[in-house]
């Protein structure tokens, strides 16, 4: 009788004994909302405000570039600094992101043809690595501090891994890295410039060489930045054939994202890991949909907007800030907003609507 009782207990408990252990699961990390910025042409602070109003945010930062026609223009571009100083001071929380040339003059390296300083003298990364140009960057730091722009984020020698700027680094990445260190040390040494920050900023992809060869060292970088456009030269991506169905176009856009923009060599996935390995936040100083003259852009692509939003807001990628390149540039059209007048033609209506839906947020 006792044996029968034990057999009955075992039979009754058997289903419970065979239940798998309940795995402990962590809830997914909450999405983040990194700082947004916009580029809306040179000296167009009003355009930045119009973009902020369109997107429904009051906290949008501005991005600007100075040209490299002369050393005077790099040292103290008062014509550019003054309006941005006024804009930053007019509302708490505003900040300037500043594209800073590392060499003056044309692509050939023959030096500036304008101004007085160094006119006609060839320029090079090697000379910059020796400290030859440090004085120009010291004066710039003093100019920024004096104008109340001592918290500016600087992008010295942006997109250095490409072949299109005077400071292209493919032939001498070691000199680029040392020149970078010279600039950072020089500017940080200026009283009041302690809050200037420096974004090391290649373009997406392999380009002319593996850009990590020009890494200047963790102590000289505040942000790892990468510029991202919806461009691709991979097979069966772009150009999208004119007679492609919506399904075919989407398949090409997904392939461009998965195999080039996100998953390709020196794509976003790799840069996210690189920044993490160097204990730096990631930034995206330029990004946008793309309609290129050579047709290698993804055109009106809301899928790209969705994927960029997912990447930017994923806390695992630690994106600190991002800047939408909201202009119709000669080498590619990217504009989503209707401009200051509210009447500018929108070439990418589907992408614009998705961008506003995902990134718009009243504050």
Q: How far apart are CA 291 and CA 298, in angstroms?
A: 7
Within a domain: residue 4? no
- The count of domains in the chain is 1
Within a domain: residue 132? yes
Give the burial string for 137-148 (b: 16+ CB within 10 Å, else e): bbbbbbbbbebe
Within a domain: residue 220? yes
CATH classification at residue 173: 3.20.20.80
Q: How high is the pLDDT of residue 29?
A: 78
Q: How high is the pLDDT of residue 361?
A: 75
Within a domain: residue 309? yes
Within a domain: residue 23? no
Q: How high is the pLDDT of residue 336?
A: 98
In the numeric block, which tokens belong to residue 201? 């900023």
Within a domain: residue 9? no
Within a domain: residue 211? yes
**Contact in structure between 225 and 285 (CB atoms under 8 Å):** yes
Give percent of the chain with pLDDT exceeding 90: 89
Averaged pLDDT, 127-150: 98
Q: Is 336 exposed, middle or buried (0-12, 13-18, 19+ CB in 10 A)?
A: buried
∠ CA 253-258-260, nearest 5°, is 85
**Contact in structure between 251 and 238 (CB atoms under 8 Å):** no
| In the predicted structure, residue 25 carries a pLDDT above the cut 90 | no
Within a domain: residue 16? no
| In the predicted structure, residue 16 carries a pLDDT above the cut 90 | no
Closest by CA position to 339, among listed 28, 21, 30, 49: 49
Q: For residue range 29-42, what is the model confidence (pLDDT) as tens digits?
A: 788 999 999 999 99
For residue 128, give its domain range.
31-359
């Amino acid at each position: 009788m006792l044996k029968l009782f034990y057999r009955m207990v075992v039979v009754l408990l058997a289903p419970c004994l065979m239940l798998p252990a309940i795995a402990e699961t962590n809830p997914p990390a909450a999405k983040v909302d990194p700082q947004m910025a916009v580029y809306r042409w040179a000296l167009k602070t009003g355009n930045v405000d119009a973009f902020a109003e369109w997107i429904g945010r009051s906290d949008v930062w501005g991005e600007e570039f100075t040209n490299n026609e002369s050393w005077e223009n790099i040292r103290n571009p008062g014509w550019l600094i003054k309006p941005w100083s006024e804009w930053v001071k007019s509302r708490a929380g505003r900040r300037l992101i500043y594209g800073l040339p590392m060499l003056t003059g044309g692509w050939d390296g023959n030096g500036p043809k304008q101004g007085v300083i160094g006119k006609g003298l060839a320029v090079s990364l090697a000379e910059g690595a020796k400290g030859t140009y440090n004085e120009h960057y010291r004066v710039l730091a003093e100019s920024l501090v004096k104008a109340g722009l001592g918290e500016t984020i600087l992008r010295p020698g942006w997109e250095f891994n490409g072949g299109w700027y005077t400071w292209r680094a493919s032939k001498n990445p070691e000199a680029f890295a040392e020149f970078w260190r010279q600039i950072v040390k020089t500017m940080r040494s200026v009283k009041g410039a302690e809050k200037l920050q420096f974004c090391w900023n290649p373009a997406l992809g392999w380009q002319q060489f593996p850009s990590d060869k020009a890494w200047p060292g963790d102590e000289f970088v505040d942000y790892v930045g990468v510029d991202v456009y919806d461009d691709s030269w991979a097979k069966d991506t772009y150009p999208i054939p004119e007679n492609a169905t919506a399904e075919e176009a989407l398949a090409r856009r997904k392939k461009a994202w998965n195999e080039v923009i996100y998953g390709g060599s020196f794509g976003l996935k790799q840069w996210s890991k690189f920044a993490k390995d160097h204990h730096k936040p990631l930034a995206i100083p330029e990004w946008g949909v793309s309609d290129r003259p050579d047709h290698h852009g993804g055109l009106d692509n809301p899928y790209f907007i969705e994927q960029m939003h997912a990447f930017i807001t994923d806390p695992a990628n630690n994106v600190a800030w991002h800047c939408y390149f909201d202009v119709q540039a000669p080498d590619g059209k990217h504009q989503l907003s209707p401009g200051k007048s509210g009447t500018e033609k929108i070439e990418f209506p589907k992408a614009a609507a998705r961008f506003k839906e995902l990134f718009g947020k009243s504050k």
